[in-house]
């Protein structure tokens, strides 16, 4: 293997030493952190940042910069030290690590312009790297994506979901490096220093795999060069390292994970050892600039005129697919991701029109959401969709997408008991609670085709993560084609001066509420009906006004468990004015049956609404 620029090796060696010193100093000042895992990867990061990667150190977000994802996010001080070495941060700033007024947090977040996705929940970085690398294809850029993993996190299943998808998609611009330091948090890692055991696994997944000494800079440079020349598949470099490298009392010793060097004699000893490792330099090592390409400015798309007529029966999941394909026609930033259910979520409509921006992840929801995070971090507007019940598998990724405040637009179909005979394993009955738990998550729940497409258009360009809940059954179109929908709004569908209660529904239960309205009207009882299509943010002003005008009686009806859903959202919105909410929701684990049977059996049909109003 050819070795790159051997005259730069002494400079890279000294950079690795400075990275160690800065990491130890920062964590000692913070009295917390992970200096040992920073020390093990110092040569890897030195070689990457100051020889291999092409990037503008003054503009970390340049679209053609090579990208770096620190999947082992607890090594954050090493990342910060690298950017200080590159000149983006002042070295003195590193001593603010973990302070409440500093963006140099304990694990990296996109508050820092050189961080694409928040990491630290292990097993996520490679999934994000898949999406970041796919984005290079989307925009026609030569940038490469590098992901640094720990050997401990390689036990996470999401790592292997990413490995499978990256190999299937032949993402040759993706290079991952595993820091095989053999020590985890509580003891040795699964395979310790058996790099061949790890290599067998990566090769089996179809990756070009290289094993190196992770402290041998010429070997690292040669491996990175080999990775760059490898075509048709991604590369994994397995770097055998020692945790705590360079500090005798820490090196390759258990018990140092998450433990800072104590100020005083212990710190002085560690720094003295590290400072004695500098060598004479032949040639300085500095970041290399990227190739820069001028691209046209992005343009927001509009769905335009809708072809639906009042009374048409259309499932909101189908309208989602129709609207998404229209958006994709007008904005190349729009991409779609699937987990082998495109013919049920109707994202196949997008694939049929824009196959180059449709990414199939098969039955692997974690990498689907993780790749969407990576795509969003580089300017794409990703729409990952699957059965809402299966998004629970990827919830840690959804949580980290919220931490990153990424523009990821998720859609979950087949929600609630209304899906019918498939039974409880397929019924999402906790997804509203799950999504509402993230304070910056927008949660939308349209009831018909018109509201679905109009809200989809709003969601695409709304800042931050969005979740849209879509239903399996066909529902009648109740809105005219020109009806406007705003995030944070609602629609009052029925009202009169004599209303005795306000019934609030979402999705399929809107139609149960309308049926109940018509049934009660026969006996001279009037109720108000609200379509609460925006669950978060919520239209608290309209809800409170309706409560005042209907004798304080608010009844929610939802195809969801009672905890955390529509009822709780409404209750929180009106509690300040002293109103309470009567909740109709699914109160037990359901079973298979017909949709109408299930709505009635579990207490959320028109009959139960009528009884609640009369009661």
Please tell me the distance from the alpha carbon of residue 419 to that of residue 316, in angstroms, as a whole number: 13
**Is residue 493 classed as helix, strand or coil in its secondary structure?**
strand
Please give, one letter per residue, the 3-state secondary structure of 158-189: HHHHHHHHHHHCCCCCEEEEEEECCECCCCEC
Entry field: residues in the chain: 615
Alpha helices in 405-470 (DSSP H): 431-436, 449-460
Pairing type for strands 474-476 and 313-315 reads: antiparallel
Beta bridge pairs of residue 41: none
| 233 contacts 172 by C-beta, under 8 angstroms | yes
Residues 6 or more apart whose CB falls under 8 angstroms from that of 79 comprise: 45, 68, 70, 108, 114, 115
Residues 6 or more apart whose CB falls under 8 angstroms from that of 160 comprise: 205
Beta bridge pairs of residue 260: none
Q: Which residue out of 52, 365, 453, 457 is catalytically annotated?
A: 365
| 506 contacts 448 by C-beta, under 8 angstroms | no
- Give the CA angle between residues 215, 216, 217 to the nearest 5°: 105
* Burial class of 311 by CB neighbour count within 10 A (0 to 12, 13 to 18, 19+): exposed
Please tell me the distance from the alpha carbon of residue 495 to that of residue 160, in angstroms, as a whole number: 54
Please tell me the distance from the alpha carbon of residue 44 to that of residue 457, in angstroms, as a whole number: 44
Measured from the Cβ of residue 205, the count of other Cβ atoms closer than 10 Å reads 19
Alpha helices in 395-534 (DSSP H): 395-404, 431-436, 449-460, 509-522
Measured from the Cβ of residue 423, the count of other Cβ atoms closer than 10 Å reads 14
Give CA separation, 84 vs 41, 94, 261, 498, in Å. Answer: 16, 8, 21, 68
Residue 365 is a catalytic residue: yes
Residues 6 or more apart whose CB falls under 8 angstroms from that of 503 comprise: 513, 516, 517, 527, 528, 529, 530, 555, 556, 557, 609, 613
Please tell me the distance from the alpha carbon of residue 136 to that of residue 55, in angstroms, as a whole number: 14
Give CA separation, 353 vs 304, 334, 335, 371, 543, in Å. Answer: 17, 12, 11, 21, 41
Please tell me the distance from the alpha carbon of residue 224 to that of residue 210, in angstroms, as a whole number: 9
Which of 394, 386, 467, 475 has its CA nearest to residue 432?
A: 467
Q: Which residues are catalytic?
A: 365
């Amino acid at each position: 293997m050819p070795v790159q620029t051997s005259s730069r090796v002494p400079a890279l060696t000294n950079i690795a030493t400075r990275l160690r010193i800065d990491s130890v100093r920062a964590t000692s000042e913070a009295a917390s952190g992970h200096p040992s895992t920073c020390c093990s990867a110092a040569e890897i990061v030195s070689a990457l940042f100051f020889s291999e990667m092409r990037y503008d150190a003054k503009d970390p977000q340049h679209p053609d910069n090579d990208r770096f994802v620190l999947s082992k996010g607890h090594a954050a001080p090493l990342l910060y030290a690298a950017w200080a070495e590159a000149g983006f941060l002042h070295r003195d700033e590193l001593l603010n690590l973990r302070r409440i007024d500093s963006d140099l947090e304990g694990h990296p977040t996109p508050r820092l312009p050189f961080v694409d996705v928040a990491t630290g929940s292990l097993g996520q970085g490679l999934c994000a790297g898949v999406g970041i690398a796919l984005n290079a294809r989307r925009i026609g850029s030569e940038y490469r994506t590098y992901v640094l993993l720990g050997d401990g996190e390689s036990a996470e299943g999401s790592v292997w979901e990413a490995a499978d998808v990256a190999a299937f998609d032949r993402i040759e611009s993706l290079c991952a490096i595993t820091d095989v330091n053999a020590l985890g948090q509580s003891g040795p890692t699964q395979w310790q220093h058996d790099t061949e055991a790890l290599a067998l696994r990566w090769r089996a997944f179809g990756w070009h795999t290289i094993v190196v000494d992770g402290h041998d800079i010429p070997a690292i440079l040669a491996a990175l060069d080999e990775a760059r020349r490898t075509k048709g598949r991604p590369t994994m470099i397995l770097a055998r390292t020692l945790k705590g490298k360079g500090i005798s009392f820490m090196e390759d010793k258990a018990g140092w994970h998450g433990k800072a060097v104590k100020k005083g004699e212990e710190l002085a000893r560690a720094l003295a050892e590290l400072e004695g490792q500098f060598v004479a330099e032949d040639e300085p090592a500095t970041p290399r600039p990227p190739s820069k390409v001028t691209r046209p400015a992005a343009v927001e798309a509009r769905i335009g005129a809708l072809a639906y007529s009042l009374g048409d029966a259309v499932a909101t999941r189908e309208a989602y697919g129709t609207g998404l394909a229209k958006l994709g026609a007008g904005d190349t930033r729009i991409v779609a991701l699937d987990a082998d259910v495109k013919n049920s979520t109707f994202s196949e409509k997008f694939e049929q029109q824009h196959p180059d921006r449709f990414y199939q992840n098969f039955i692997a929801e974690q990498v689907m959401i993780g790749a969407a995070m990576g795509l969003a971090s580089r300017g794409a507007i990703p729409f990952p969709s699957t059965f809402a019940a299966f998004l629970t598998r990827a919830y840690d990724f959804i949580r980290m997408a919220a931490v990153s405040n990424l523009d990821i637009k998720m859609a979950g179909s087949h929600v609630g008991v209304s899906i019918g005979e498939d039974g409880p394993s397929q019924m999402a009955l906790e997804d509203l609670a799950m999504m509402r738990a993230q304070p910056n998550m927008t949660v939308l729940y349209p009831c018909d085709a018109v509201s679905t497409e109009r809200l989809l258009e709003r969601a695409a360009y709304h800042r931050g993560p969005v979740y849209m809940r879509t239903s399996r059954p066909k529902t009648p179109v109740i809105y005219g084609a020109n009806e406007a929908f705003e995030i944070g709004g609602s629609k009052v569908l029925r009202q009169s001066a004599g209303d005795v209660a306000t019934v609030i529904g979402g999705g399929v239960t809107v139609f149960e509420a309308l049926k109940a309205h018509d049934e009660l009207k026969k006996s001279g009882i009037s109720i108000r009906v609200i379509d609460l299509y925006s669950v978060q943010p919520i239209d608290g002003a309209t809800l409170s006004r309706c409560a005042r005008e209907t004798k304080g009686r608010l009844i929610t009806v939802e195809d969801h468990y009672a905890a955390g859903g529509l009822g709780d959202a409404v209750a929180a919105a009106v509690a300040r004015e002293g109103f309470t909410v009567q909740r109709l929701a699914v109160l037990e684990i359901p079973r298979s049956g017909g949709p109408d049977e299930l709505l009635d059996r579990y207490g959320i049909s028109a009959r139960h609404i009528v009884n609640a109003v009369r009661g």
